[in-house]
Amino acid sequence: MEAPRLDVIEISGLRAHGRHGASPGERDRVQPFDVHVRLETDLRAPQDSDDLADTIDYDLLHRQLCIIIKERSYALLERLAGALMDEIFRDARVSAAEVSISKLRILDGATPAVMLRRKNPRFSA
């Protein structure tokens, strides 16, 4: 039996601005958020084909995640991370993912963050 694949695509250093927060007034102003995503997927096909259609288009995914952060508004980072995870899992080739979001400049020198780790219920090998 073949061992499971653990190939990874990461997008780190994604910075986007949005209106998210539970405290009064937080959603009234645009704030910066740093995001890191880690996708588990089988990269054998693009490794052999050198064809973008055979892999996860990280440029497109980056743009989609930025749109969610900019255009939606949530009280909790956990919900925002869940919305990003939902977008990632629209691609059934992603078997699992991690999403971490840091909210910058909110706590005197400290940076709150959340990380979600999930398996894709739509995954098809």
pLDDT per residue of the chain (125 residues) written in tens, 0 to 9:
455 568 999 999 999 999 999 987 888 999 999 999 999 999 999 999 999 999 999 999 999 999 999 999 999 999 999 999 999 999 999 999 999 999 987 778 889 999 999 999 988 76
Q: What's residue 3's pLDDT?
A: 52
Query: What sign has the CA pseudo-torsion 116, 5, 13, 53?
Result: negative
Answer yes or no: are the C-beta atoms of 42 and 7 closer than 8 Å: yes
**Domain boundary assignment for the chain:** 7-119
Task: Report pLDDT for 1.
Answer: 46
Q: In what order do the strands lie in the sheet with 96-103?
A: 7-18, 31-41, 96-103, 113-119
Query: Mapping DSSP to helix (H, G, I), strand (E, B) and coil, where does residue 29 land?
Result: coil
What is the value of pTM for the model shown? 0.91
Q: What is the pLDDT of residue 82?
A: 98
104-112: list long-range contacts, CB under 8 Å, 24+ apart. Answer: 104/31, 104/32, 104/33, 104/34, 105/31, 105/32, 106/21, 106/26, 106/31, 112/77
Architecture of domain 7-119: 2-Layer Sandwich (3.30)
Q: Which pLDDT belongs to residue 125?
A: 67
Q: State the DSSP H helix or E strand holding residue 116, giving kind and residue range, or none if neither.
A: strand 113-119
Q: Which two tokens stand for residue 100?
A: 């971490």
